[in-house]
Amino acid sequence: MRIALDAMGGDHAPGPIVAGAVEAVRDQSDLTVVLVGDRERIEAELRKARNPAHDRLPIQYASQVVGMDEKPVEALRKKRDNSISKCWGLMASGDVKAVVSAGNTGAMVASALFNAKMFLPGIRRPGIAAIFPSHQGPIVIIDVGANMNAKAEDLYQYGVMGSIYAETILGVTEPRIGLLNVGTEEEKGTDLTKATRALYQQSPLAHRFVGNVEGRDIYEGHARVVVCEGFVGNVLLKAGEGAVEFLFATLKQELARLLPGLPADAGQSLVGGLSGLKTRYEYHEFGGGPLLGIRGACIICHGASDARAIKNALRVAGTLAEDRLNQQIVEQLAAAPNEVVADASGS
């Protein structure tokens, strides 16, 4: 498995990014990670590592970086030699089977969209999937930010792709699919949700479509795949992170207030246990969200990714690239209602 990693993308790049690659190739003897970016800075990071497997950590030079806050399309146009475009170039040429970046999400998506040949046959618009926790175990929410102008047909395709992703990564067979909405009743929502509902009900996925899912119900896990437009999904994902951070910060204060009454070791074990709990709801485990609907595999990581998150992202990217996932997506889209599938031009 050969994966291109945007060594320059991320809030603290290239340090933790390169460190994650070093760990990943140490764990997986068949993995090669092409480190894309500033050669000198990457080499400096490699020198800090303990016995890195240099032969499986080649460097691909890119002189420019798209900043985390830069306007994606403009930056990609101005900075032709940026590390993100170079990663996609390696994928387009067949040199690597997957790309991973913790850099500018918009630039990662835009770079993929620039080249409709990167789309799987029949795909209208790729979507980003994210993993949420629920009482039934992890669930998939798609799209969390790739597509700001989704149509019902896109939300149908996200159901197909999200299901196959849930099967591959979470091991959930035939997952139930829900449509994020403002109420459970059929007529609720916007024109988009109504059209999406109608599309699912007439489709081969009808038996797995459980209808509307409210914000509150997400965590019940009755639907293991929840589809929504990218704007809502992105707000939901980030607000969930914000809520968890906020609650744990408040809990910490509250515990500090309560702990003086507890024996020191009990307090320690409690704080330790809660930290473990927090970790369960963080993005590290799955390393980031895949951009589904493209040839090969692509994982978009959180900007704050540490080495562990990058290592896991590389593992998941490898799994997705090796799996029949893309083949299944193409097959299942071929069985979908005609209007759902994009024509050969990918438009």
Which residues here bind a second copy, judged by CB under 8 A? 69-71, 106, 133-135, 145, 148-149, 180, 182-185, 187-190, 214-220, 228, 230-232, 234-247, 249-251, 254-255, 257-258, 261-263, 265-266, 269-270, 273-274, 277, 281
Q: Is 134 exposed, middle or buried (0-12, 13-18, 19+ CB in 10 A)?
A: middle
**Residue 251 Cβ vs a second copy, minimum distance, rounded to whole Å:** 7
Nearer to a second copy, 26 or 71 (CB): 71
Half-sphere exposure of 100 (CA within 13 A, CB side): 34
**Residue 96 Cβ vs a second copy, minimum distance, rounded to whole Å:** 28
Alpha carbons 72 and 104: distance in angstroms, whole number: 7
Nearer to a second copy, 91 or 110 (CB): 110
**Residue 78 Cβ vs a second copy, minimum distance, rounded to whole Å:** 14
**Residue 216 Cβ vs a second copy, minimum distance, rounded to whole Å:** 4
Amino acid occupying residue 275: S
17-to-9, 55, 102, 207, 257 alpha-carbon distances in Å: 8, 18, 8, 42, 38
**Residue 212 Cβ vs a second copy, minimum distance, rounded to whole Å:** 11
Nearer to a second copy, 94 or 242 (CB): 242
Alpha carbons 341 and 12: distance in angstroms, whole number: 40
Nearer to a second copy, 53 or 274 (CB): 274
Nearest Cα residue to 145 out of 285, 305, 300, 318: 300
Nearer to a second copy, 18 or 144 (CB): 144
**Residue 254 Cβ vs a second copy, minimum distance, rounded to whole Å:** 5
Alpha carbons 297 and 99: distance in angstroms, whole number: 6
**Residue 221 Cβ vs a second copy, minimum distance, rounded to whole Å:** 9
**Residue 207 Cβ vs a second copy, minimum distance, rounded to whole Å:** 23
**Residue 131 Cβ vs a second copy, minimum distance, rounded to whole Å:** 14
Nearer to a second copy, 56 or 197 (CB): 197
Nearer to a second copy, 110 or 120 (CB): 110
Asked if 67 contacts 105 with a C-beta cutoff of 8 angstroms, the reply is no
What residue has token string 């990564």? 169
Alpha carbons 275 and 344: distance in angstroms, whole number: 49
Q: Transcribe 258-326 into DSSP letters.
A: HGGGS-HHHHHHHHHHHHHHHHHTSGGGT-SEEEESBSSEEEE--TT--HHHHHHHHHHHHHHHHSSHH
Nearer to a second copy, 50 or 135 (CB): 135
146-to-78, 204, 234 alpha-carbon distances in Å: 21, 25, 9
What strand order describes the sheet that includes 289-292?
59-61, 32-37, 2-6, 98-101, 297-300, 289-292, 127-132, 139-142, 225-227, 177-180, 209-213
Both structure tokens of 102: 């913790």
Nearer to a second copy, 204 or 242 (CB): 242
